C-alpha cells in the first residue's frame, strides 16, 4: 500500500495537468475531489504504476489511498497454470481496477464480472470522440456488444519502406495498400546480385523461416490450418498450396532476406552485427514489415553505432487480403483496464479507468512511452521525428487472425512447425513436390495434435483428481468434485467436436 505526500507547489502544478479527469458530469460514478477511500489496483508493480498513472491521479484525488496489487507473483517459479493463478489472484485480492489481456477481458465479461463502461463514453470531459474508433468497436465486439474495458495503447504492424532506395533504383513509391503478392513483385524490381553482405534486398523478413512466412500470408488471407475446436489439421488445400507457391517463389527470386533463410554466420552479438542481420535497419532492404516499436529503433540506431547512416522512410498498411482490402489482422489491444463488478470503491475505480484512458494521460505518455501507440491517436505524432504519417498503423479495421486459437495445446506447436519447415525445405531443394510436402505436413501434424490433446486431457484429469482429493480431505466432497470435473470435461469435448459454424 502506498500513500503519496506532495508539497503544495508540486500538487498545484501537477493538478493543472489532470484538470477535467473527473467532474463536470452528473452520473452514478461522479466523485468529489476531496472524497477519501481506498482503491485496490492491479498492475505490473507499484513503482511502474505510480510513475505511469498513480502520481498524477492522486493530485486530482489526494485523499484516495491507492493500494497496488503487484502481478509479479503470477510469473514466478512454480506457476504452471497462469490463468488459474490469475483467477485465484483476483478471487483472493478482489481489486477494484483490473488489468486484463484480451482473452481475460472476454472471459470476465462473459462471466458478468465487469462493470459496463458505456456511460463513460457519454461524459463530455472524457472526449471519447478522440479515441481510435476501431479500438472502441473491438472492445464492444469482444464484450458482447457492451463496453467493459478500455486500453490506452494498441499495437499493430505496418509495411516500412526505404524512400532513398526507391529513389536510387528508380522504383516508384507505392501509394496504396498492397497484397503480399504485390509486395513480392515490387521487391523483385530491386537488384538481386552482389555480395550477400553488401547487396540490396527488396524485402527483409525478420520473423523466421519458410513456414512462418507462409503462415503470415495465410493469416492475412483468412486461411486456417487448424479448425476452431483444435481437433483437425487442414493444410493440404488449394488455398495453402497457393500461399506456399507464393512464398517459395518469392524466396527463390533472391529478392527476400531472412537471417534464417540466408546463411549469415553465428555473429558476434554486437550491435553492428545486429544491424547487419536487420537489412532494413542497415539501409540494405527496400521494405520490411514490423511493429510500431520499430520506429524507435530507426530513430535511435545512430546512438548505438556511430557509423550508422540514417535514411528517409515511410509507411503503408500491413499487406492486405484482396478479398477484404479494408481489414487487417495485426492490431492488438492489451493492458485493458476494467472496473470489477464487485469493486468496494466503484466510483474511484471508474475515475481511475477514466483517467488512465483520458486525454491528459495520453498527452503525457506520448512523451515518455515508446513502442506501443496511443488509442488517442492525435498524440502519436510525438513518437516519431520528421514528417511520417502513422495512420497506416490503424487505418484498417481489425479482424481476428485465424491462426490465433486458445484451444490449441501448447505442446503442439514446436513439433508441428519443425516438421513443416523440414518438409518445405525439401521442396526448396527439389527433393519433393509441394503437394507431397503439404500431405506430409497435414498427416504428421494430425498425429502431433492428437498426441498433444491426449496429454492435455490427461493433465486436466490429473489436476481434477488432485483437486478432488484435497476436497475429500477437507470436506469429504472429493469424489463429487472429480465427477463434476469429469462431466465438465466430457461436455467440453463434445462441444469441441461440433463442426464450426
- pLDDT 10s digits, 324-355: 999 999 999 989 999 999 999 999 999 999 99
What is residue 479's three-state secondary structure? helix
pTM, two decimal places: 0.84
Q: How far apart are CA 155 and CA 267, in angstroms?
A: 30
Residue 296 has pLDDT above 70, yes or no: yes
Q: How far apart are CA 259 and CA 265, in angstroms?
A: 9
Residue 386 has pLDDT above 80, yes or no: no
Q: What is the pLDDT of residue 472?
A: 56
- Is the distance from CB of 105 to CB of 143 less than 8 angstroms? yes
- Is the distance from CB of 375 to CB of 305 less than 8 angstroms? no
| C-alpha cell, 101 | 489481456
Q: What is the pLDDT of residue 188?
A: 97
The values of phi and psi at residue 201, to 5°, are -115, 150
Residue 315 DSSP symbol: E
Q: What is the pLDDT of residue 3?
A: 39
**Of 204 and 79, more confident:** 204
Going by C-alpha positions, the residue among 356, 364, 381, 210 that lies closest to residue 292 is 381
> Which residues, in sequence order, are bridge partners of residue 226?
233
What is residue 99's three-state secondary structure? strand
CA 482 to chain CA centroid, nearest Å: 36
- Is the distance from CB of 45 to CB of 70 less than 8 angstroms? yes
Residue 491 has pLDDT above 60, yes or no: no
Report, as an integer, the average pLDDT of 461-481. 61
Q: What is the pLDDT of residue 499?
A: 38
CATH class of 157-329+400-407: alpha beta
| C-alpha cell, 237 | 488445400
CA–CA distances in Å: residue 343 to residues 37, 41, 98, 358, 496: 12, 10, 10, 21, 34
Q: Which residues, 6+ apart, have CB-to-CB distance to 237 below 8 Å?
A: 223, 438
Q: How far apart are CA 341 and CA 335, in angstroms?
A: 18
Range ranked top by mean pLDDT from 78-92, 112-126, 365-379, 465-479: 112-126
- Is the distance from CB of 426 to CB of 432 less than 8 angstroms? yes
Report, as an integer, the average pLDDT of 352-373. 89
| Mean per-residue pLDDT of the chain | 86
pLDDT in tens, 420-440: 999 999 999 999 999 999 999
3-state secondary structure 372-420: CEECCHHHHHHHCCCCCCCHHHCCCEECCCCCCCCCCCHHHHHHHHHHH
Does CATH number 3.40.190.10 belong to domain 8-155+332-375?
yes
| C-alpha cell, 319 | 499487406
Report, as an integer, the average pLDDT of 187-203. 91
Query: Could you give the residue range(s) of every CATH 3.40.190.10 domain in the chain?
Result: 8-155+332-375, 157-329+400-407
Q: What is the pLDDT of residue 64?
A: 97
Residue 229 has pLDDT above 70, yes or no: yes
Q: What is the pLDDT of residue 162?
A: 98
pLDDT tier at 77 (50, 70, 90 boundaries)? confident
pLDDT tier at 24 (50, 70, 90 boundaries)? very low
| C-alpha cell, 17 | 495537468
Q: How far apart are CA 120 and CA 354, in angstroms?
A: 7
% of the chain beyond a pLDDT of 90: 66
| C-alpha cell, 148 | 467493459
Q: Which residues, 6+ apart, have CB-to-CB distance to 167 below 8 Å?
A: none
Q: How far apart are CA 274 and CA 77, in angstroms?
A: 31
Going by C-alpha positions, the residue among 253, 180, 249, 242 that lies closest to residue 217 is 180
- Is the distance from CB of 238 to CB of 460 less than 8 angstroms? no
Report, as an integer, the average pLDDT of 175-185. 97
Q: Which residues, 6+ apart, have CB-to-CB distance to 392 below 8 Å?
A: 158, 159, 315, 316, 317, 318
pLDDT in tens, 87-117: 999 999 999 999 999 999 999 999 999 999 9
pLDDT tier at 15 (50, 70, 90 boundaries)? very low
Going by C-alpha positions, the residue among 372, 394, 391 that lies closest to residue 328 is 394
**Of 329 and 498, more confident:** 329
pLDDT tier at 473 (50, 70, 90 boundaries)? low
Q: How far apart are CA 115 and CA 398, in angstroms?
A: 24
Report, as an integer, the average pLDDT of 165-173. 97
**Of 162 and 23, more confident:** 162
Phi-psi map region of 264: left, alpha, beta (phi>0 left; psi -120 to 50 alpha)? alpha
Q: What is the pLDDT of residue 471?
A: 56
Q: What is the pLDDT of residue 79?
A: 76
Residue 78 has pLDDT above 90, yes or no: no
Distance between the two ends of the chain, CA-based, in angstroms? 49
Going by C-alpha positions, the residue among 102, 44, 110 that lies closest to residue 406 is 102
Residue 263 has pLDDT above 70, yes or no: no
Neighbours of 174 (CB within 10 A): 16
Residue 489 has pLDDT above 60, yes or no: no
pLDDT tier at 477 (50, 70, 90 boundaries)? very low
> Cell 515518455 appears where?
368
CA 8 to chain CA centroid, nearest Å: 41
% of the chain beyond a pLDDT of 70: 85
Neighbours of 108 (CB within 10 A): 22
pLDDT tier at 197 (50, 70, 90 boundaries)? confident
Q: Which residues, 6+ apart, have CB-to-CB distance to 373 below 8 Å?
A: 153, 154, 155, 156, 292, 380, 383, 390, 393, 394
pLDDT in tens, 312-327: 999 999 999 999 999 9
Residue 152 has pLDDT above 50, yes or no: yes
Least confident of 215-224, 292-301, 351-360, 416-425: 292-301
Amino acid at each position: 500500500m502506498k500513500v503519496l505526500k506532495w508539497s503544495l507547489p508540486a500538487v498545484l502544478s501537477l493538478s493543472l495537468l489532470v484538470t477535467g479527469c473527473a467532474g463536470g458530469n452528473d452520473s452514478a460514478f461522479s466523485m468529489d475531489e476531496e472524497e477519501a477511500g481506498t482503491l485496490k489496483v492491479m498492475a505490473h508493480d507499484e513503482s511502474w504504476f505510480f510513475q505511469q498513472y498513480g502520481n498524477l491521479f492522486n493530485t486530482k484525488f489526494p485523499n484516495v489511498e491507492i493500494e497496488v496489487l503487484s502481478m509479479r507473483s503470477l510469473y514466478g517459479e512454480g506457476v504452471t497454470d497462469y490463468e488459474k493463478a490469475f483467477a485465484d489472484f483476483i478471487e483472493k485480492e478482489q481489486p477494484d481496477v483490473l488489468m486484463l489481456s484480451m482473452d481475460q477481458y472476454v472471459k470476465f465479461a462473459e462471466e458478468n464480472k465487469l462493470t459496463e463502461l458505456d456511460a463513460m463514453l457519454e461524459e463530455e470531459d472524457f472526449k471519447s470522440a478522440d479515441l481510435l474508433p476501431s479500438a472502441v468497436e473491438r472492445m464492444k465486439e469482444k464484450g458482447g456488444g457492451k463496453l467493459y474495458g478500455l486500453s490506452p495503447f494498441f499495437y499493430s504492424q505496418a509495411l516500412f519502406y526505404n524512400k532513398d532506395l526507391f529513389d536510387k533504383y528508380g522504383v516508384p513509391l507505392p501509394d496504396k495498400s498492397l497484397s503480399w503478392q504485390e509486395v513480392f513483385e515490387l521487391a523483385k524490381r530491386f537488384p538481386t546480385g552482389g555480395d550477400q553482405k553488401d547487396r540490396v534486398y527488396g524485402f527483409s523478413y525478420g520473423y523466421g523461416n519458410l513456414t512462418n512466412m507462409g503462415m503470415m500470408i495465410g493469416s492475412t488471407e483468412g486461411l486456417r490450418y487448424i479448425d476452431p475446436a483444435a481437433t483437425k489439421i487442414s493444410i493440404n488445400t488449394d488455398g495453402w498450396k497457393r500461399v506456399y507457391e507464393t512464398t517459395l517463389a518469392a524466396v527463390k527470386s533472391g529478392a527476400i532476406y531472412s537471417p534464417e533463410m540466408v546463411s549469415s554466420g553465428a555473429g558476434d552479438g554486437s550491435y553492428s552485427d545486429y544491424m547487419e542481420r536487420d537489412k532494413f535497419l542497415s539501409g540494405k532492404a527496400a521494405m520490411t514489415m514490423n511493429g510500431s516499436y520499430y520506429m524507435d529503433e530507426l530513430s535511435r540506431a545512430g546512438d548505438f553505432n556511430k557509423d550508422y547512416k540514417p535514411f528517409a522512410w515511410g509507411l503503408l498498411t500491413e499487406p492486405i487480403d484482396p478479398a477484404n482490402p479494408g481489414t487487417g489482422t495485426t492490431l492488438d489491444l492489451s493492458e485493458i483496464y476494467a472496473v470489477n463488478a464487485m469493486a468496494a470503491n466503484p466510483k474511484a475505480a471508474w475515475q481511475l479507468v477514466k483517467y488512465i484512458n483520458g486525454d491528459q494521460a495520453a498527452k503525457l505518455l506520448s512523451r515518455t512511452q515508446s513502442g506501443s501507440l496511443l488509442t488517442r491517436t492525435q498524440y502519436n505524432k510525438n513518437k516519431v521525428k520528421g514528417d511520417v504519417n502513422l495512420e497506416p498503423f490503424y487505418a484498417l479495421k481489425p479482424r481476428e487472425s485465424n491462426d490465433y486459437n486458445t484451444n490449441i495445446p501448447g505442446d503442439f506447436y514446436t513439433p508441428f512447425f519443425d516438421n513443416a519447415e523440414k518438409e518445405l525445405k525439401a521442396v526448396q531443394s527439389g527433393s519433393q513436390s509441394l503437394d507431397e510436402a503439404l500431405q506430409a505436413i497435414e498427416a504428421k501434424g494430425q498425429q502431433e495434435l492428437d498426441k498433444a490433446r491426449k496429454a492435455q486431457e490427461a493433465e486436466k484429469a490429473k489436476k481434477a483428481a488432485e483437486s478432488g482429493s484435497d476436497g475429500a480431505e477437507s470436506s469429504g466432497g472429493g469424489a463429487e468434485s472429480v465427477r463434476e470435473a469429469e462431466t465438465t470435461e466430457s461436455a467440453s469435448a463434445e462441444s469441441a467436436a461440433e463442426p464450426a459454424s
